Chains A and B, each alone.
Chain A
Amino acid sequence: DIQMTQSPSFLSASVGDRVTINCKASQNINKYLDWYQQKLGEAPKLLIYHTNHLHRGIPSRFSGSGSDTDFTLTISSLQPEDVATYFCLQHNSGYTFGAGTMLELK
């Protein structure tokens, strides 16, 4: 089974900051990596699919990058509404979610 190691687990940043969240796969997942945002009490929402494709309606301050085993979600300028938990998901072989990164405002 493919394991996903997400870091950091917790992140505190200020409005306007550039924020990066990382996911590392235990083996090559061929860019089959997506990012989801989950606000408190809400369902997860797709942000980025296939490493770097922005889902419809998602602001352009969100971007994704990476390949093979190492992937990054970047928020270019943090906004108050971005406070949430972020998860990565690999679907190269089965489905494995990362443990999540809780993002709060400093």
Chain B
Amino acid sequence: EVQLVESGGGLVQPGRSLKLSCAASGFTFSDYFMAWVRQAPKKGLEWVATITNTGSRTYYLDSVKGRFTISRDNARSSLYLQMNSLKSEDTATYYCATIAAGDWFAYWGQGTLVTVSS
């Protein structure tokens, strides 16, 4: 059974940093592209970043480019999102998700809440 478990969320002041983690199990992690998707409180979903299965290429939402870094450790079956210079508009639940060969988000974790506030 595919399992994705996010951690690392919390309350952080504007301008500070936070690193999210996603522990994967139940599938061959190194075979899959992975993504972070976020959902602001009572809002819709928004794709944030994607990383290829080897980690050689990454892609970002324009509004987080230069501030967020997606990375992975295939040996540990883990995905990460380093978030720097956080803004109030980054407040959201962050989900990690697997990307299937056809580019859809096949499986999602339960999410971790990030609140950016002074």
**Residues of A that sit less than 8 Å from B by CB:** 32, 34, 36, 42-46, 49-50, 55, 87, 89, 91, 94-95, 97-100
Residues of A within 8 A of B111 (CB): 43
The answer to whether A98 touches B103, judged by C-beta atoms less than 8 angstroms apart, is no
The answer to whether A43 touches B104, judged by C-beta atoms less than 8 angstroms apart, is no
Residues of A within 8 A of B100 (CB): 49
The answer to whether B102 touches A49, judged by C-beta atoms less than 8 angstroms apart, is yes
Residues of B within 8 A of A89 (CB): 45, 104-105
Closest 7 A-B residue pairs measured CB to CB? A95-B47, A43-B108, A97-B45, A49-B104, A34-B104, A91-B103, A99-B44
Nearest chain B CB to A66 CB, angstrom units: 15
Partner of A55, one of B45, B46, B103, B106: B106
The answer to whether B47 touches A100, judged by C-beta atoms less than 8 angstroms apart, is no
Residues of B within 8 A of A55 (CB): 106
- Interface membership of B29, Cβ < 8 A: no
The answer to whether A44 touches B95, judged by C-beta atoms less than 8 angstroms apart, is yes
Partner of B106, one of A46, A91, A97: A46
The answer to whether B108 touches A44, judged by C-beta atoms less than 8 angstroms apart, is yes
The answer to whether B46 touches A97, judged by C-beta atoms less than 8 angstroms apart, is yes
Q: Could you show 26 A-B contacts with beta carbons less than 8 Å apart?
A: A32-B103, A34-B104, A36-B105, A43-B108, A43-B109, A43-B110, A44-B105, A44-B108, A45-B108, A49-B102, A49-B106, A50-B102, A50-B104, A87-B44, A87-B45, A89-B45, A89-B105, A91-B103, A91-B104, A95-B47, A97-B44, A97-B45, A97-B47, A98-B44, A99-B44, A100-B44
The answer to whether B95 touches A42, judged by C-beta atoms less than 8 angstroms apart, is no
The chain B residue with its CB closest to the CB of A42 is B110
